[in-house]
């Protein structure tokens, strides 16, 4: 009881200091009130995920809905519940796999004679080391687990077919 009396009556300056210390506040840079005895929340830094330079083909990528794909590419040549087959141009065909939710899980584009095919560097980016064999043949595949898919590029050389593929992991 004596301690309480001292804090209330005899030690008013000490009691006042304790009360003020417990309720002191300030404003952060955004003007929000922040209590001095509470830790300021830490905002996590944005996480960067690796993705290829080319994440879609003709406005369609992994996760695109079947309806959006049809809007972008038109009516497929062949269609069933598991996917579509498109004849996109004189030298391009594409096979698209659709899951049960109606979303794209794989896109395989064949450029019959290589005409119009993107270069491997355009698909993977300039920093990706791509080994080209004698005669121009190459196969390159990179998994992007955080993005949820892999990309492959296959070519037998100039004037030969090129196959570009995106596949959900």
Q: Is residue 78 part of a domain?
A: yes
Q: Is residue 59 part of a domain?
A: no
The rounded distance, in Å, linking the Cα atoms of 148 and 49 is 10
- Residues 29 and 83 placed together within one structural domain of the fold: no
* pLDDT value for 89: 87
Selection from 32, 39, 38, 96 nearest residue 69 by Cα: 96
Q: Is residue 124 part of a domain?
A: yes
Vertex 164 angle, CA 114 and 125, to 5°: 100
Q: Specify the number of domains making up the chain.
A: 2
* pLDDT value for 15: 39
Q: Is residue 75 part of a domain?
A: yes
- Residues 111 and 157 placed together within one structural domain of the fold: yes
- Residues 76 and 27 placed together within one structural domain of the fold: no
Q: Is residue 47 part of a domain?
A: no
Q: Is residue 95 part of a domain?
A: yes
- Residues 23 and 85 placed together within one structural domain of the fold: no
Which residues of 20-76 form beta strands (DSSP E)?
A: 25-27, 33-35
pTM: 0.70
Host domain of residue 25: 2-35
In this structure, of 45-49, 69-73, 92-96, 127-131, the range with the lowest mean pLDDT score is 45-49
């Amino acid at each position: 009881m004596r301690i309480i009396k001292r804090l209330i009556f005899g030690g008013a300056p000490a009691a006042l200091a304790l009360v003020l210390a417990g309720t002191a506040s300030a404003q952060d840079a955004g003007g929000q009130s922040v209590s001095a005895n509470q830790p300021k929340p830490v905002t996590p830094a944005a996480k960067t995920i690796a993705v290829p330079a080319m994440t879609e083909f003709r406005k369609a990528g992994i996760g695109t809905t079947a309806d959006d794909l049809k809007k972008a590419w038109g009516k497929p040549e062949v269609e069933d519940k598991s996917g579509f087959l498109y004849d996109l141009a004189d030298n391009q065909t594409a096979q698209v796999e659709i899951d049960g939710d109606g979303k794209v899980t794989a896109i395989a584009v064949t450029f019959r004679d290589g005409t119009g095919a993107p270069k491997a560097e355009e698909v993977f980016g300039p920093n990706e080391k791509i080994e080209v064999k004698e005669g121009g043949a190459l196969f390159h595949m990179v998994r992007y687990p955080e993005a949820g898919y892999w990309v492959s590029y296959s070519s037998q050389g100039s004037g030969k077919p090129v196959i570009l593929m995106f596949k959900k992991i």
